[in-house]
Structure 1
Amino acid sequence: MLKGIPTIISPELLKTLMEMGHGDTIVLADGNFPAASCARRLVRADGHGVTALLDAILELFPLDTYVAEPVGLMQVVPGDPTVPTIWDEYRAVIARHEGEGAGIEMIERFEFYERAKRAYAVVATGETATYANVILTKGVIK
């Protein structure tokens, strides 16, 4: 164990975050996401929700300030009546760590899958909320 590392961050996830460089992306995937078939590197975080992982990761990981939207969310499929309330939780966590200025992009479902395939890693969680997938772009420690 180490001081200052949130206990929800596994050794494998910590290693992955450390390996990532500026501009690399990581996907926090809900339990319905096809994580294993999309991931170049798959990190398991079963039993954990995305909001808690997002909060812990942003304690260690700066978002990219050189792009307009360093956070991407999978947009609701047209015609689906779902209203993802978890997005409000994400916005609150992001604002707490990065301020109100961090841009959030809404990404069409199949484009989200394509970006996930190019991401440095995909973290498969136990999140049960729908449309709870998020892509983070790593920034620079200043």
Structure 2
Amino acid sequence: MLKNLDPLLNADVLYALKSMGHGDRLVICDTNFPGDSIARQTRLGRLLRIDNVSAPRAAKAILSVMPLDTFIDDAAARMEIVGSPDEIPDVQKEMQTEIDAAEGKHWPMVSIDRMAFYEHAKNAYCVIATGERRFYGCFILTKGVIPPEAV
């Protein structure tokens, strides 16, 4: 155990988060997402896991150490429901709550069509699979920067 770190952040996930740079994207996916095959096409090239928790709970852990990118409008994205792009299921509402809490303000997620989401995911730095069993529990987050401390 490490002090002040969410215990869900295992060594592989911490390595990826630390290795990512400003503008790199990560995917948090549900159990139905083709995580392994998509992850093999990412920069990291292998699937990471935060098992046995929901996607919003995994995001809470990740966002406890990773800032979102303030330079772009799509630093947080969700997969749209096929045939109902404006519908927001509970899993996405819960994710919105975690994002807002981590950033200390409302931070709207953009929506991405399902097939376009897969293409965006292939270009991510990494994919983190969760134990999320609800449909459309798939998200893309873009890493921001931590400013230097004033001296």
The TM-score bracket by the shorter chain reads over 0.9
Partner of 1:16: 16
Partner of 1:53: 58
SS in structure 1 at match of 2:77? strand
Question: Which of 96, 99, 105 is equivalent to 1:94?
Answer: 99
Partner of 1:105: 110
Q: Is the 8 A contact 2:96 2:107 kept in 1?
A: no
> Distance in 2 between the 1:118 and 1:18 partners?
18
Tell me the TM-score normalised to structure 2 length. 0.88
Aligned residues: 141
Give how far 1:103 is off: 3.2
Partner of 2:7: 7
Task: Flag the 1:139–1:130 CA change in 2: closer, same or farther, 3 A.
Answer: same
SS in structure 1 at match of 2:7? coil
Structure 2 stretches lacking a partner, 5+ long: none
Listed one character per residue, the Cα deviations across residues 73-103 of structure 1 (whole Å, up to 9, x for unaligned) are 00000169x7511111111111111133423
Structure 1 segments (4+ residues) deviating >2 Å: 99-103
Q: Is the 8 A contact 1:29 1:123 kept in 2?
A: yes
> Distance in 2 between the 1:68 and 1:83 partners?
19
Q: Percent identity?
A: 40
Match of 1:2, as an amino acid? Answer: L
